[in-house]
Structures are given as C-alpha cells and as structure tokens.
Copies of this chain bind each other. A is one copy, B any other.
Amino acid sequence: MRKVNQHLNNRALLALGEAIRNRRVDLLLSQEQVAAGAQLHRTYVTDVENGLRNLSFLTLLRFAEALNCTLSKIMIETESIDSFEHKAHDQD
C-alpha cells in the first residue's frame, strides 16, 4: 500500500480525482465502465477518484478518452475545484 498512501491528502490529487468523478457521474458511467474505456483496473479508477494516485500524462489521456472529453477540460475543472497552482509539492 505504500505507493498509494504516499499521496494521501495531496490537495492537487484530491481535486483531480473529484474532477474525474464529477465528469464520470455527469455521464452516468460506472467506475467499471470508465476502467474498461481507459483499459485500466476498476480499483485503479477508484484510487484516482480518491486522490491516491499520481497518474502519468498518458494515463490522464486515457481517462479523458474514456470520459469523452479533452484533458484540458479535466484540468480546468480540477483547477476550479481547488486553486492548487504553485502548491504542487506542498504535501508531496
């Protein structure tokens, strides 16, 4: 569990996870459906939505694809949830 717990309570990751969850819920998709679309495991999607994974750029793109939107749109939503700019490594 170390790899997951090291990111516990990181504000930026929590905001990203919330943005991804909001988008999924807006589309009436289950975590399983997003996982299938992004070719990821369902528990990984759960971890991302809970802010526990520092996912890579290419994995972010897979989420955008599964959520039928651009990555910039997800980032704009993330920034609207928590203005974490310039705080990236406060808790990392």
A residues lining the B interface (CB < 8 Å)? 10, 12-13, 16, 39, 54-58, 60-62, 64-65, 70-72, 75-76, 78-79, 84-86, 88-89, 92
Q: Are B58 and A10 in contact (CB under 8 A)?
A: yes
Interface of A is mostly: helix
Q: Are B57 and A54 in contact (CB under 8 A)?
A: yes
In the assembled complex, the CB of A42 is this many whole angstroms from the nearest CB of chain B, namely: 18
Q: How many copies does the complex hold?
A: 2
Q: Are A61 and B88 in contact (CB under 8 A)?
A: yes
Q: Are A92 and B54 in contact (CB under 8 A)?
A: no
Q: Are B58 and A60 in contact (CB under 8 A)?
A: no
Q: Are A79 and B72 in contact (CB under 8 A)?
A: yes
